[in-house]
Amino acid sequence: MNQTKSELSTDVAVILVIIGIIGGAPHVLLVHRTATPEQNKWALPGGKWNKSESLESSAEKKLVQETGIDTLYLEQLFTTTGLDDESSSAAVAYFALTDFTRVILRAEEEWKPDWFNVNELPELAFNNNQVIRQAITRIAAKLQYSNIAYSLLPEEFTLRQLQDVYEALEGQTVDRRNFRKKMLAGGLIEAIGKTRRDGAHRPAQLYTFLQREAVIL
């Protein structure tokens, strides 16, 4: 079920960059390889493309397997060759954006999954470090002109949580007042009139995205 067992080497694989924001830092879901090649390294989850279905639905199925959720934002990133140094396989990479609090990791010891901070990655199998870097770059760019952040947050969230998502992916802080103005002006989110208490300070308003499907501005 996982990436590039050797009998797949002449075939097409689907690999997933599953991103979630944990503690204000973007994290990626990796699995621990128990098979050669690249045994004992961490790698992006993936699997053989099942030719009886589309690439997209192969990716979706794998995503559900790994996260337990099926209503995530999923987008094709690119297709590479030379994933496996010596072999002649092609891998179609997708990225998915998750609210990590809803993700239920598979509990198995074989191909055990775990979250890793994308800014502190070990050396991964194949070219996976590079695939992840490109995914983050694409996501950060797309945040600026779409509502895809909806997929990284729970249904109700504070403006602070939303800002944390943007800052984590852009890798830099932004002014709180300007951020708030831009988001509200953008017309993608609205206050729902509830507040959330969270410690010894003023409670925060809760917001939702008007649409929980991709909107490109």
Residue ranges binding a copy of itself (CB under 8 A)? 10, 12, 49, 51-52, 54-56, 76, 78-82, 88, 90, 92
Could you say which of a copy of itself, DNA, none residue 69 binds, taking C-beta under 5 to 8 angstroms by partner kind? none
Shortest distance in whole angstroms from residue 48 CB to a copy of itself: 12
Q: Tokens 């990655």 appear where?
A: 121
Shortest distance in whole angstroms from residue 57 CB to a copy of itself: 9
Shortest distance in whole angstroms from residue 4 CB to a copy of itself: 15
Closer Cβ to a copy of itself, 92 or 162, answer by number: 92
Dihedral over alpha carbons 188, 115, 35, 44 (to 10 degrees): 30
- How far apart are the C-alpha atoms of 128 and 209, rounded to whole Å? 32
The tokens describing 207, both together, are: 């917001």
Could you say which of a copy of itself, DNA, none residue 160 binds, taking C-beta under 5 to 8 angstroms by partner kind? DNA
Closer Cβ to a copy of itself, 139 or 153, answer by number: 139
- How far apart are the C-alpha atoms of 33 and 111, rounded to whole Å? 5
- How far apart are the C-alpha atoms of 170 and 15, rounded to whole Å? 24
**Concatenated DSSP letters for 71-112?**
--EEEEEEEEE-SSTTS--EEEEEEEEE-GGG------STT-
Closer Cβ to DNA, 171 or 203, answer by number: 203
Q: Tokens 């099926």 appear where?
A: 70
- What one-character DSSP code corresponds to residue 14? E
Q: Which residues pair with 91 in a beta bridge?
A: 13, 80
The site for DNA (CB under 7 A) is made up of 158-160, 175-178, 180-182, 195, 197, 199-205
Closer Cβ to DNA, 131 or 188, answer by number: 188
Shortest distance in whole angstroms from residue 76 CB to a copy of itself: 5
Would you call the peptide bond into 37 cis, given omega within 30 degrees of 0 as the criterion?
A: yes
Closer Cβ to a copy of itself, 12 or 105, answer by number: 12
Shortest distance in whole angstroms from residue 174 CB to a copy of itself: 20
Note whether 103 and 28 are within 8 A (CB). Answer: no
Could you say which of a copy of itself, DNA, none residue 78 binds, taking C-beta under 5 to 8 angstroms by partner kind? a copy of itself
Closer Cβ to a copy of itself, 89 or 98, answer by number: 89
Shortest distance in whole angstroms from residue 183 CB to DNA: 11
User: In the chain, count of helices (H) and strands (E)?
Assistant: 4, 9
